[in-house]
Amino acid sequence: MRDDSPLDPFAGDPSDPAAALDSDEFGDEPLSDDERRDLVEDLEDLEVFQALLEPRGIRGLVVDCKDCREAHYFSWDLIRGNLKSLLDQGSPHVHEPAFSPDPAHYVSWDYARGFADGVLTADEE
């Protein structure tokens, strides 16, 4: 797989604000085979979602954060980069939040899955 994830703007910066984060937050345990398989399946699903939804003006996915109770907007590249980082390194990339995202341009994972299932079912028929 090609690594097309966004670059960390603080890479190599001694004053990196993420340096103070506890590395145990994500755990140092390697991913289980099931977790790895799930991440690979998520990456495959993401490719399908992007191929079907991007031409319709959808820029990525929205995730409701349980911690801060706010919606987080992820571009296709950013969520792909996070999934690949989880797969390769066991933790997501540090990233900047989207700047003034238009919620109309983002859908939930469940919506994207339902849309893809509908399109693929219609194609089979």
Give per-residue pLDDT as tens, 18-62: 665 544 455 567 888 999 999 999 999 999 999 999 999 999 999
Tokens of 29: 């345990």
Contact 114, 68 (CB under 8 A): no
pLDDT at 21: 56
Give the global pTM: 0.72
pLDDT at 69: 83
Nearest to 45 by CA among 125, 111, 123: 111
Tokens 């703007």 belong to residue: 9
Phi, psi of 72, rounded to the nearest 5 degrees: -115, 130
Nearest to 47 by CA among 86, 4, 88: 4
For the chain, what's the residue count? 125
For range 67-89, the mean pLDDT = 88
Residue 82: pLDDT band by 50, 70, 90 thresholds? Answer: confident
Strand order in the sheet with 71-75: 71-75, 60-64, 106-107
